[in-house]
Structure 1
Amino acid sequence: MRFNPAFWFVAPALALLVVFFFLPVGAALGLSFTDFDIYALADIGRLRFVGLDNYRRLFGDAEFWTALRNTLYFVAVGGPLSVLVSLAAALLVNHRLTPFKGLFRSLLFLPVVTTLVAVAVVWRYLYQPRYGVLNYLLGGFGIGPVDWLGDPDWAMPAIILMAVWKNFGFNMIVFVAGLQNIPESLYEAASIDGAGARQQFLYITLPLLAPTFLFVAVITMIGHFQWFAEPYVMTQGGPAGSTLSIVLLMYQQGFRWWNLGYTSAIAFVLFGMVFLFAVFLAWLKRR
């Protein structure tokens, strides 16, 4: 069998993809049909094939439904909010009248490259019930202190606010690149025809940003479905499970209780959700 010379150029990348992606994914899929746990890790003879039992157990697990509800809440609220904040910031730093554009872009991008532990320390101080800056500001309006991370009703909004601030800078840079690809002549022609700033935004900027919107939406939603670091660092899934995410549940089941077969089942359910959501966004874009 004779291979095209181009094959040998892509063969190293394909080999790495097979070894470090497809083989682990296939192994995890196989584990999801077993009861692989710490005992099987010590003695492979204890490994048993259980078929779909892990998936049946998963859909009957109240903790999984709590994690799913929290994750969907985070995706439904945090995702659009992050995209809108990113777009607003991109429009501001890309405006022709904005001075020091490079400086503002760098400053707004800094939270993305800042370690989450350092960010968590700062935000935990901001949210501190008695001495936090946020409650101090609310006190100026006569509003009593709020236990932001200790109250089940407020913990999720508090983490969403921190996550939006931490991550919007990346999407902002992508939107800026999309805005700079829109020909200036279109705005000049629209201005000559009497279109105002609002009409130019609705009929020029938004339609021509559609491919960028799709990319940002897909990347943002996939990242939000994999929401883990914020609740792990800030609340450990509490209080009362109000910030427990699917990925945090996977971590707890896999590395705290060593139920690796059950954890693999959770992972593939999450994969299915992300895949279906990405397909839906692609369909929505075509519509």
Structure 2
Amino acid sequence: MAYGRHESFYLRDKWLSKGMKAISEDSRFFYDKNGFEKIGLGKNMVRSLRFWLLAMDLMQDTKGKSHILTDLGKLIYKYDRLLQKNETVSILHYHLVRNNNDLATVFYWYFNIYKETVTQRTELKKSFRIWVKNHETKAVSENSLDRDIDVLVQLYTKNANENDPEDFIFSPFTKLNLIREDTSEEKNENIKKTSSNVEEIGLIPLYYVLLMYAQERDLELISLDEILDEELLWGKVFNLSKNKIIDALNKLTTHRKFALEYVRTNNLDNVKVPKIAPLDYLQYELNIEFDKGKL
């Protein structure tokens, strides 16, 4: 597990676009000592950008100190590198909380493991420190863990300053409305997991998540209870309630080409997932959206 790789910077708007463009033009960009000057970011920010690209499965290391875009990265770069669509951000959020590269432990923990829906920041930090202590063989700096929590909250709550039109330092992940930060009567910060509307998340990323889950576990049927309660599925990843999950599943049963099917076995409601590779499905949907002129 890894901590603090973000250099205390949450992901800024347009950063991923800058990073993917740089890698497309020069695979050794992140090993170039003067790369920060070419991209217009500080040295620490460039290191942070490298972390975000790797943590979201947009970029991968290759032999010989270089990087290339992943197949997912190529799709995002081609169709929506400015992250204008909520669907794109939802997909990146999913890959972040998957912690596939073992770089984004705090994001995996908060959405998949941590059960509290409302907590104060101090208690949230304490819970994360305890969990890490119970799962790590070596001691981890508490300051590093606290910064992980701060960046987690900022990534999902840092909006542009409405009173300052020149303030462009905001996170594209705020559009998902997955976390809200409120000030309580005791002037402590309450951190809340919030349940977005299915429309805010998008049906495309929800279907993509189901396909990823089914493919990795070689499943054909996924139960409604799993979708609600299992790690890396809708209830955990997107804070979705059972009613919202059922609403989304009903809409996906009328998909134009890859319709889900309801199957009832052993008194359990299951959905039958088509055999299609997740990235092939994503390519299909993005092509249609592109043809419509939406991307």
The TM-score, its normalising length taken from structure 2, stands at: 0.22
- Normalized per residue, the structure richer in helix is 1
- Normalized per residue, the structure richer in strand is 2
Which entry has the higher C-alpha Rg, 1 or 2? 1
The TM-score, its normalising length taken from structure 1, stands at: 0.23
